[in-house]
Chain A
Amino acid sequence: MFQKMPELLNGVFVTFHVSVLAMLIGVVIAILLAITKMNNSKPFCYVATVWVEIARNTPALFQIYMAYFGLGALGIHLSPYVAVLSALVFINAGYLTETFRGGFSSIPDTQFRASRSLGMSSVQAYRYIILPQMLRRIYHPMTNQFVWSILMSSLGILVGMSELSGTTQKLQSQSFRTLEFFIVAAVLYFVLTKLVLFGASLLSRRLFKGDIG
C-alpha cells in the first residue's frame, strides 16, 4: 500500500496539472466568448451562445465520451489526457463565460464614465477601476470552478487516463485491495481541494488586501 504512494502522488500531480491547464485555457476562451456575447455581433454571438448552453446543459461524462469516442469516430484520435483536458476546457469555458458576463455587467456603466471624466483614458479606467472590482466579484466563482475541475477530472478513470482515479483503478486491479486504495484516493482528493481553497484564500488576501467585496 505505502510502497505505491509515489504512484498515487504522481496521480495527484496529473490531476492537479490537468485541472490547472483546463482552468487557464478555459479562462482565456471564456473571456473571448464573453466579449463576443456582449458585442452582439450576430454569427459569433450565436456560436458563443451554443457553446455556453451545450457546456452547461450536458453531463461532464458526456463531454469526455464525446471527445474520446465521438471525435475518434471522425478520425481524430485523442489521448485520454487530451480528451479529458479538452472536455474540461469546453465546460470551464462555458460556465466561466456566464461568470465573466455577470461580473462585468455588475459594474455600473456610470463608474466608467466617472473615471473618464476624471481624466483617465479608457485603458486606465479599465485597468484601475473596472477590472479590480470585477476580479473581486468573479474570484469566488472562479475558485469554485477550479475545485469542480479537480473533482471532475476523476472521470478520466473511465477513459484510462492516469490521473489520481485512473492510477487508483490500476493499482487496485493489480492488488485487489479496492477499498483501501479508493479510501486513500478519497483522502488525497479531499486534501488537494482543501489545499487549493487555502491557497486561493491566501492569494485573495494578498490581492484584495482583506476586503472581499
Chain B
Amino acid sequence: MNSLFTPLSWSDTGYILTGVWNTVTISVVAIVIGTLLGILVGFLRAESNRFVNVLLGGILDVFRSVPLIIQLILFSTFVGAIGHPLGPFVAGSIVLSIYTMAFMTEVFRGGFEGVSQSLQTAARSLGMTYWQTVYHIRFPIGLRAVLPSWLGVALSVIKDSALVSVIGYMELLRTSEQLISRTQQPLMILIGVGLFYFIISYPLSYYGRRLERKMAL
C-alpha cells in the first residue's frame, strides 16, 4: 500500500504551480473577452430599440439562469457530438467568456444608461458627431462609473473558473484534487488552495469596496 500513497514532497510545488498558472490564464482570458463583448453588447442594449433589447436580454438571461457547471458539460458534450471536439482549455474559455459576458453586459448597460442625457445633448450641440459623443463622453463616464461592479464580476469569474475542472482542465482545484488522491492529505492541500484564492481575491475586493465608497461621495 505504501507505494500507492506517497506523502507530499517539494516536487509537487511545480505541479500545483501549473494549476495556479492555468487558473490565472483561463480567468484572464475569460475576463478580457467577456469585458470586451460585455461593453459591445451593453452598448447595443443601451442604444437599441425595444425588440432587440428584449431579444438580447432573453438570450443573456439563459446564461445567467443555468448553472455554469451544466453549461460547461453541455458545451463540451455538444462540440464532441457534432464531431469537433475541443480541448478543455478552448471549450472552458469559450463557456466562461460567454458566461462572463452575460454578467458584464448588464454592468456596462447600467453604466451607459447612467450617463445623463443632457450631457450628450450638450456634446452634440458643441458640434460633436454621434461617435465622438460616444467616444469622448459616454465611454469615459459610463465605464468609470461601473468600475466597482466590474471588479465584482471579475472576482466572481476567478472563483467560478474553478468549475472548468469538470471538463478536465487542469486548473488549481483539479491539480490539488489529484494530489489529494495520491497523498491522502486533503486538509493541508485544500487550505493551501483556499489561501491562494484568498490572496488573489481579498486585495481586489478590498480595493473594490474602497473604490465604491470613494465614488459614492
Contact = CB atoms under 8 A, between A and B. Distances in A.
Interface string A168-183: 1000000000110011
Contacts of A60: 159
Interface in B109-133: none
Contacts of B187: 70, 73-74
25 contacts: A54-B198, A56-B205, A57-B159, A57-B197, A57-B198, A58-B159, A59-B160, A61-B165, A62-B162, A62-B190, A66-B190, A69-B180, A69-B190, A70-B191, A72-B186, A73-B185, A74-B187, A151-B68, A155-B67, A157-B166, A165-B69, A179-B78, A186-B74, A190-B65, A190-B66
Contacts of A69: 180, 186, 190
B33 interface: no
Given A65-B177, A70-B190, A179-B74, A186 B66 contact: yes
B73 A182 contact: yes
A143 B83 CA distance: 40
Given A190-B66, A193-B65, A194-B65, 6 more contacts: A57-B198, A65-B190, A151-B67, A182-B77, A186-B74, A190-B62
Contacts of A165: 67, 69-70
B77 A185 contact: no
Contacts of A147: 65
A66 B78 CA distance: 31
Contacts of A194: 65
Nearest to B204: A57
A154 interface: yes
Contacts of B69: 154-155, 157-158, 165
Interface string B65-90: 11111110110011001000000000
State the majority secondary structure of interface residues on B: helix
A111 B180 CA distance: 55
B202 interface: yes
A59 B162 contact: yes
A200 interface: no
A152 interface: yes
A182 B202 contact: no
B43 to A, nearest CB: 24
A57 B70 contact: no
A58 B70 contact: no
Contacts of B194: 54, 58, 62, 66
Contacts of A182: 70, 73-74, 77
B65 A58 contact: no
A70 B186 contact: yes
Interface in A14-38: none
B60 to A, nearest CB: 13
A77 B180 CA distance: 16
B74 A183 contact: yes
Contacts of A74: 187
A104 interface: no
Across chains A and B, which 5 residue pairs bring their CB atoms closest together, nearest first?
Answer: A154-B67, A57-B201, A59-B159, A69-B186, A59-B162
A189 B186 contact: no
B209 to A, nearest CB: 9
A70 to B, nearest CB: 5
Contacts of B74: 179, 182-183, 186
B14 to A, nearest CB: 21
Residue among B65, B161, B205 with most chain A CB within 10 A: B65
User: For B70, B71, B202, which residue has the most chain A Cβ atoms within 10 angstroms?
Assistant: B70
Nearest to A194: B65
B28 interface: no
Contacts of A183: 74
B66 A57 contact: no
